[in-house]
Structure 1
Amino acid sequence: MTASSREAAAVRRHGARQPGHPVLRFGALVVVAAVGFLTVGYLELVSRIEGQFDTRDNSSLVNEITPTSAATTEPGDASAGSALNILLMGSDDRSGENGVIGGTDAGGMRNDTTIVMHISADRTRVELVSIPRDLQVQVSDCTLFDGTKVKGWYGDFNIAFSNGGKQGDAAEAAACTINTVQDLTGIPIDHWAVVDFAGFESMVDAIGGIPMCITQDISSKKANLYIDAGPHLLNGQQALAYARLRTAESGGVSGSDLQRITRQQELLRQTMRTLMGKNLLTDTAEITQFVKAMAGSMTMDEQLGDLTYLEGLAWSLRGLSIDDVTFATVPWEYTSDFLNVVATDDAATMWQELRDDTPLTVDAKGDASSAWDTGHDNTTATPAATGASSSAAPSGSATDASSTAGESTDDLLAQCTVQ
């Protein structure tokens, strides 16, 4: 990559940075909520919430990798002095309530969303890198709790989660995915979290919905999503359908997972703006409801589910500004048949920068729609590129990229203008 192209990429990256504290679709919300523990009374919340988290120890199933730096203990943040990498996974498990929501036709467990969240050692940056589910990789072998060996092979990235989820255990699915990510990138995964359908709906409803600017009418029988163009406050069911949307009878939906990543990142960005505008950090009742919704819907490693650990981590991130959080996607290009994607040389640069704990200078390039679709994803308005590149940003009226904390839901909806 030339110096000029790196500089251009850096400019695009700055434009794609998002507001908020640790921002990720699932696990980072726990960190954001934990900041409130310091304000509203940590012990009171612990008494209400502790025990709600579903934590599992799958360390015996995860292959060891040498950390890039050694931790230096400081008061508060147990991982102070070390960069942290958290793997976030969205499961489409169809058992129980999830089957009612997503249907029961899918066998086993799969994940539609995988994000590597990198927190810098100096706690001044957070980078969230989406891994396309159709990225062609060497899926790692893995072992389940009962000793069963599952052989990996070359294919779609999300095969790893499916291999580990053969027995319906999210911790086993996470372990197999962690092994594949570590072997692929050389990045040690310190923590992990898996969220399911029902949990995502509950989290959205707990914050009163997510304001989104929908710039085209969307009609999708498969996703059960029918919504007119314009400003909408999406409830949990609508937000989940939008996040999972891949096919539609109308609405400029190409069927591409890359396009879906762009929509998911915009949904996440709006979620963070909504959280920043709410009084979650000073309202004991509301933060308790929010954290309970997350805790009851997530499976995570034991340390990430420890409220004392989260308190220290959140406190160490209190100085983050709106320019300190970045979304990116693994640099990719289509395979010759246009059915899948493979990583480009820039992906190796991205992994090296994460290992070295330096700011990202590369991102995915090109159109986030399918190669066989000549249009662009213009179902939502976005202020800047949140996925592949600035050229992949959905068309429509842009919202204010310089938004700050304190925006109300009405403020966010008022920014939507459909052309």
Structure 2
Amino acid sequence: MQSPSSPSTAPDRGTALAPPRSRKSIALLVLVLGVLTATGPLATDMYLPAFPQITRELGATEGQIGLTLTAIMIGMAVGQLVIGPMSDAWGRRAPLLVGVALFTVTSVLCVFVPNVTVFIALRFLQGVAGAAGAVVARAIVRDMFQGDAAVRFFSRLALVMMLAPLLAPLVGAQLLLVGPWQLSFWVLAGMSALSFVLVLLWLPESLPPEARRSQGPRQLAATVGSLVRNPRFVSPVLTLGLSFGMLFTYVSAFSFVSQNEFGISPQTYGWLFAVNALASMAGTQGNGLLVGRVDTARRLLMGLLLALGAVLVLLVLALTGAAELWMVSGLLALMMFSVGFIMPNATVTALDGQPVAVAGTASALMGSMQFALGGAIAAMAGMTPSGEASLVSMAVVMATVAVLSLLAYVWAARVKVR
């Protein structure tokens, strides 16, 4: 007899909250979960235009400031491993409210950092707290939706989520015109406080007491062990994490590359970043339109092949010295468009086979691997003799992980056939 945590167990919806039926209720759920999941992109993207300024003011190197980005990613990875199982045991709302409150506090503390070491430490703690929004939002969707319905909802959610990376660098760049880089963290604190109110007033509990599963260390280890031994879970998670690493390499390196190598202003960088975020939004909506016409695996493959083609061309241009800013921006926009296909389909592929009782743990493990890979891969772009990311180092890292992501997909397809 299979244990409840067995990855091959058929999904058991149990007594989870029924999915909302009316357009108004679905729109409200998209809004609340969208604001929650936008916390991560806001925290990582809003201060990107200020990287050169922060480097000067804190007396740090580019590599050290890049580590503030890696720190929040690792914090999100660690936080999800803790908060996911908590949400399975205590319900979704309580861990979410605590995480959002702590994120607000750490955002305020980042305003007063005396040096880059403290900044890195606070960004790690901010990531741990910010993990609540990402992991619990995914678990709530798994509680309420399944299959193509989940893909449709994730596509709607992604539309709201992508407004964050669209607006964050633009807002961050404009804030630099009126004040210091610390203003970005005041805005983050305000957005987090708004999230707290939205959850408190409008987000229902999607996991009732009778469907909760409290796990001790041994049970949790057994659940995690069953998940990591299941190729049908691990392979799409690797596809997701490696693709996220490709995306995050662009996020962490392009601020330096565009301003130092192409000589553009922080404001121009913000507009370029916004255009690429729009491309990602277009990808998510294109993916949504194909639901019911093209199966999930094929939509995922389309995204992976498109991303690989874009970054390979970028690599050739970088190595030959033929890259112009408009070429680089266009290829990055194409890569971001492909991410709109990769993220929702890989997420649903990984979570769809998991029972509701372990959805939080599965979501946490997936998110943890995604952010850990993203942070570690992005840091590689700065591992150059000068200690600074370049167009060549960025393109090399992105192309390498795009190939590995496609190989993870091939592994998943072979396992499915078996």
More strand by share: 1
Which protein has greater RCO, CA pairs closer than 8 Å, 6+ apart? 2
| TM-score normalised by structure 1 residue count | 0.27
| TM-score normalised by structure 2 residue count | 0.27
